[in-house]
A and B are shown apart, each in its own frame.
Chain A
Amino acid sequence: MTRFGIHLNKPVDSESTLAERVRQGQVRAVARLITLLERGKQEGRDALRLLEADTSRAAIIGVTGYPGAGKSTIIDQLVAAYRRLGHKVGVLAVDMTSPFTGGALLGDRIRMQQHALNPGVFIRSLATRGHRGGVAAVTGEAVSVLEAAGYDVILIETVGVGQGELDIAVVAPTVVAVVAPALGDEVQAMKAGLLEVAHVIVVNKGDHPDADRTLRELNEWHRSVLKVTATTGEGIPALIAAIAEQQRLRDLEGAPTRAAP
């Protein structure tokens, strides 16, 4: 092991050694396998098949919401909280690929760089590469790679969404929707879409003068609404508890079991 918890790398892998190195949690192998899957390479799919027995034990939490609502900052706080509980945390942060140029500016991890040197945290930015629905096409496979590599909690940040990008509900059994105060009246909360797929709704920027009114209005329409100030961490323990409660209820309902963090 080096001081960053990353092992030295051999340049070329057969699928089985790549899979083995992922299983050992070697960061370079994890990163490379996600790249291979992102490119649709057969060698990546073969390696993933060898790992699939090791998956389905992590808590997978999707964080979605409007652009600028504070998704990245909330994830930054959740990473810190789950690390304090002793969990290894993986983050997949998705941003838009330009439909005009094919380029992307992946900037979510700016808010998470305090964790960059934490050996228990792996952060990967993904571009949508033309996939609609709010996540990258590779997201589900990348989750499986992180599970096989031993990450206990996997946080997925969607692109900033409008009303119709709901694929996160397919990838993550727990979905947190982040909204900001004063972005619309109660009728916005009654509309179909984002708030329907959310298990927990977070009203971020809780220090905003309109935060309590937004909280009250959303409370009329959803059973789990919380006020958080992500920049200070206020409300994060309650969010962790709400996520755990959702996971407990889901397990009671007999849905596919995943360990609560």
Chain B
Amino acid sequence: MTVTAAPLRILIGKVGLDGHDRGVKLIARALRDAGMEVIYTGLHQTPEQVVTTAIQEDVDAIGLSILSGAHNTLFRRVLELLSAQGADDIVVFGGGIIPNEDVPALKEAGVKALFGPGTPLDDIMRFVKELPRSR
């Protein structure tokens, strides 16, 4: 078997202190089954680790799961660090417990999409498959 089209590479991980990884593992596996290369970093990553890893792995997108309540700080820090590295072509999206009132400001800051509890997996897969492939 030869794979011809270059698969999308997506970093999936958890930043911050919460250890609830059932959701993030489900997403990682669904992306794998949708034909993507998933770089799974596991729990308790710092924004600095995420951004350095994303650059070494040359990913197209970063998907972060945050259930700790620290989403406003953590997403912004990841976006800032990407920008500082000249890597703001990498798409950032996320999921977890993110109150509706925080969503517009995070999108304004550059988070491309946020998927809350109960989002059908198909919606997330459709979003990822439609990511720009300009890189």
Please give the residue numbers on chain A whose beta carbons come within 8 Å of chain B beta carbons, in ascending order: 2, 4, 6, 8-11, 27-28, 31-32, 34-35, 38-39, 97-99, 101-107, 109-110, 113, 116-117, 122-125, 127, 129-130
Contacts and interface: CB of A to CB of B under 8 A. Distances in A.
B6 A38 contact: yes
Contact of A99 (B1, B7, B34, B39): B1
Interface string B1-14: 11100110000000
Contact of A104 (B32, B42, B49, B53): B32
B85 A9 contact: yes
Contact of A122 (B38, B56, B85): B56
Given A8-B86, A97-B3, A103-B34, A113 B56 contact: no
Interface string B23-35: 0000011011111
Given A34-B58, A102-B3, A105-B32, A116 B39 contact: no
B6 A124 contact: no
B85 A6 contact: yes
B18 interface: no
B39 A109 contact: yes
Interface residues on B, range: 35 or more
Interface in B39-62: 39-42, 45-46, 48-49, 51-53, 55-58
25 contacts: A2-B85, A6-B52, A6-B55, A9-B87, A27-B55, A31-B56, A32-B58, A98-B33, A102-B3, A102-B35, A103-B36, A103-B37, A103-B38, A104-B36, A104-B38, A105-B40, A106-B57, A109-B53, A113-B42, A113-B49, A113-B53, A123-B56, A124-B56, A125-B57, A127-B37
B105 interface: no
Nearest to B50: A116
Given A27-B56, A35-B58, A109-B39, A11 B34 contact: no
Contact of A125 (B31, B39, B45): B39
Interface string B82-116: 00111101000000000000000000000000000
B83 to A, nearest CB: 10
A214 B75 CA distance: 49
A28 B85 contact: yes
B26 to A, nearest CB: 12
Contacts of B56: 27, 31, 122-124
A105 B52 contact: no
Nearest to A121: B56
A8 B85 contact: yes
B29 A101 contact: no
B38 to A, nearest CB: 5
A97 to B, nearest CB: 6
B89 to A, nearest CB: 7
